[in-house]
Structure 1
């Protein structure tokens, strides 16, 4: 029996609380998941999951063994991640960036790595913050630039760089002409933002900040800066983005400076243990310059 494969069935069903949802998560049909879990239970001699009227629930033995199953899966993922890193050349620095990072900031970071010289090859990939953290933890990435706050799972990180952000609104919106614009004046517009699942702590912090200022906007999920700009220019949303000097002039969009001290973009570099120091210093220096 492939123990790790069957443990993944167990963890998926336990976390989803439903065999069908677990199968979707594993990109499988439901019967193999159910059969695999039963086979695991036979091998272990204990019942782990009990079918319930509205899904599945852990037994006492399942609750006790679930944390250990997660550790085993996590260790296996780290092992394969390190092996992949060695297979794909240990001399290649692998850096991750969040997909909604402003292009000018991404360019500055890439230039900082390029400035290390031809002796340091690097490869940049893009993924949501939660995935970047997971990939650094598993050894698939050496380091990543992520938005703070985020769940870092104990990974090492440097100082937080604060980059000014402003409100982007559709051209002609009343808030842009107001002498004393307020966040409440954005009522009726959705907030164009990356999905909450990409980084729940940072998302919740922004929403809480807007709520304190009297605004509870609907959320329009976007997955790239181009989608964000299109949503604002199209008149259906506002957004919070780096200050105009970095964004440049965009047709159909006006910028409004409000509560700038409360909504900065907070970025930091996370890294795997024993990561090279020179790339870390270069990226942190680039972020520090952007924050001035």
Structure 2
């Protein structure tokens, strides 16, 4: 049995309190997570999670073993990270960004990092996953949406990006004299699942409701998924790259609800030696945010 992998299942379910949310966080379907946890419990001879009608609760044994499970996962990640560095023998900078950041911001950061490192590797993942990887040492830094639970990581300043609302091309809001978010009532709202970053997700929904839109969430995993849902006429979404979508049939990008829909990004890192690199990344984000208006 791959102990570390199965411990990840246990920690995800324990922290999310729900098998479905844990599976979304791990980017898996629910059955393998549930089956993997049962296998771990059989191997250990103790019940870690109590299944309830509301989700999942820690047993006394699970509560006692959870801190140790987290340590083992972190140690394994650090071990692999150090082994990779020794094998490659290079100063490759490893960083990540949430998909919400958009192509313009990612390209700008990559260009600036190319000036301060001999090489780089970039991954795209949810904020929760990126935080875990930076904490474990497998990533040097990450760009995440704020607010976000960052633990002991060092965080840079928040950079605010304006987002456009992506709407169906034939929706009446596209011809309204003064379009408002409340005009989109009845359409699903495309957004990554809450498990990707619960604090930022909840804050966005609260701001939309304050603006008169109480959306039903349609979880999407990519910009292509969002475009398909919106072009079909039954959903809306948000983008920081309206220029990329401007030529597509079936969708329109409108600057509605600027404050309510804004995206807030920040750089997080663990080692103080990376402060200068983090500042360079933040400067690249600022430049793109200003250029986008």
Q: TM-score range by the shorter chain?
A: 0.7 to 0.9
* Unpaired stretches in structure 2, ≥5 consecutive residues: 24-29
SS of residue paired to 1:149: coil
Query: Match of 1:282, SS?
Result: helix
Matches within 5 A, 1:1-292: 8=7, 11=10, 15=14, 24-25=32-33, 28=36, 30=38, 32-38=39-45, 60=60, 62=61, 65-87=64-86, 88-116=88-116, 120-242=118-240, 244-245=242-243, 248-292=246-290
- C-alpha change, 1:53 and 1:219, in structure 2 (3 Å) is closer
Per-residue deviation at 1:136?
A: 0.4
1:125 deviates by 1.2
Q: Which residue of 2 aligns with 1:45?
A: none
Q: Residues 272 and 90 of structure 1: is their aligned pair in 2 closer, same or farther, counting only changes over 3 Å?
A: farther
Post-superposition offset of 1:128: 1.2
Alpha-carbon distance between aligned partners in 2 of 1:215 and 1:249, rounded to the nearest angstrom: 27
Structure 1, gaps ≥5 residues long:
42-47
Q: Secondary structure at the match of 1:101?
A: helix
Closer/same/farther in 2, CA of residues 177 and 279 from structure 1, 3 Å limit: same
CA distance in 2, matches of 1:57, 1:266: 32
Q: Give the CA deviation at 1:198.
A: 1.1
- Provide the TM-score with structure 2 as the length reference: 0.79
The change in CA–CA distance for 1:25 and 1:177 in structure 2 (over 3 A counts) is same
Runs of 4+ in 1 over 4 A off after TM superposition: 4-7, 9-14, 48-60, 245-248
Mapped contact 2:162–2:262 kept (Cα < 8 A): yes
Instruction: Tell me which protein shows more helix as a share of its residues.
Output: 2
Deviation readout 1:84-103 (Å, 9 max, x if unpaired): 34234451100112134322
Per-residue deviation, 1:234: 2.4
Number of residues of Structure 1 aligned to a counterpart in Structure 2: 277
Shift of 1:268: 0.9
Deviates more, 1:274-283 or 1:217-226: 274-283
User: What's the CA shift for 1:126?
Assistant: 1.3
Measure the CA separation in 2 of the matches of 1:238 and 1:23: 30
Q: Distance in 2 between matches of 1:64 and 1:125?
A: 32
Task: Measure, in 2, the Cα distance between the counterparts of 1:173 and 1:210.
Answer: 19
Query: Is residue 9–residue 36 contact of structure 2 (8 Å, CA) maintained in 1?
Result: no
Q: Does the 8 Å contact 1:14/1:58 carry over to 2?
A: no
Distance in 2 between residues matched to 1:226 and 1:49, nearest whole Å: 38
TM value normalised by structure 1: 0.80
Q: Which residue of 2 aligns with 1:44?
A: none
**Root mean square deviation of aligned Cα:** 3.5
Max Rg structure:
1
